[in-house]
Amino acid sequence: MARGHGRLHSEVVRLPGGRLGPLATLATRVAVAAGAIAFVALIAYVQRKGYSDAAEDGISLLDAFYYASVSVTTTGYGDITPRSDSARLVNVLEATPVRILFLVLLVATTVETLSGRSRHVLRVVNWSRHMKGHIVVCGYGTKGRSAIASLEGKEVERDRIVVVDPALDSVESATEDGYAAVHGDAASAVVLRRAHVADARAASSRPTATTRRS
């Protein structure tokens, strides 16, 4: 139960920094992989006279892309092959390194996907252990932002402010602005526990949930 509770806790707590945008990361790696295939296809097409297919026909641009895709992804059907010495040399010098790069990208993406959640859980656990004497701000709308601006005007550090908001986009905005945030309704005792309101110096915007310490 403790382990499951920890997973749930980490899913609703968002911390600033330390996270790469998953879509941006994936898009970048897909672009690099596509670029690698296009590079190999271009080289094969430029040297198309040194390649042959199973039917001994010429190599078209489409054939070059087909060859590049099955070669770089290590599928390698062998129906299009380099036959001249120069084509084989270029294949060794450019296709093999690109093939290795493609595999590295694939492995890196897989490992990062598997380890990303674990890293976040560890960050949340470490954050929870050190979260004392902070200020909980309930809501990241106009009033919440004004409250935070007032706190920062009193030299309260950003890492001592925790935002609680039921809207996921507001939580994401808060973390992008550098604040730890908890996704949930501040009227919920469970959500407030996740924000460590019992250890907070003060809480704002929800009188029924306000906790103050001398």
Each of the 214 residues of the chain gets a pLDDT tens digit; together they read 334 444 445 457 877 865 545 566 777 777 888 888 898 889 889 888 888 877 777 788 888 888 888 888 777 777 777 777 877 787 777 777 887 888 777 777 777 666 656 667 777 888 888 889 999 999 999 999 999 999 999 988 988 999 999 998 999 999 989 899 999 998 898 999 889 999 999 887 553 434 433 3
Determine the residue type at 30. V
Q: Indicate the angle between helix axes 2-12 and 96-130, nearest 10 degrees.
A: 100
Tokens of 158: 């950003």
Nearest CA to 102 out of 77, 68, 72 is that of: 72
The C-alpha angle 20, 26, 29, rounded to 5 degrees, equals 110
Is 48 strand, coil or helix?
helix
Q: By the 8 A CB rule, do 119 and 18 touch?
A: yes
Confidence (pLDDT) at 206: 53
What is the distance between the alpha carbons of residues 27 and 53, in angstroms, rounded to a whole number? 33
CB atoms within 10 A of CB 181: 27
What are the chain's domains? 18-128 (1.10.287.70), 132-208 (3.40.50.720)
> Over the Cα atoms of the chain, what is R_g?
27
Cite the DSSP H helix spans in 47-141: 61-72, 85-90, 96-130
Q: By the 8 A CB rule, do 135 and 192 touch?
A: no
pTM (whole model) above 0.75: no
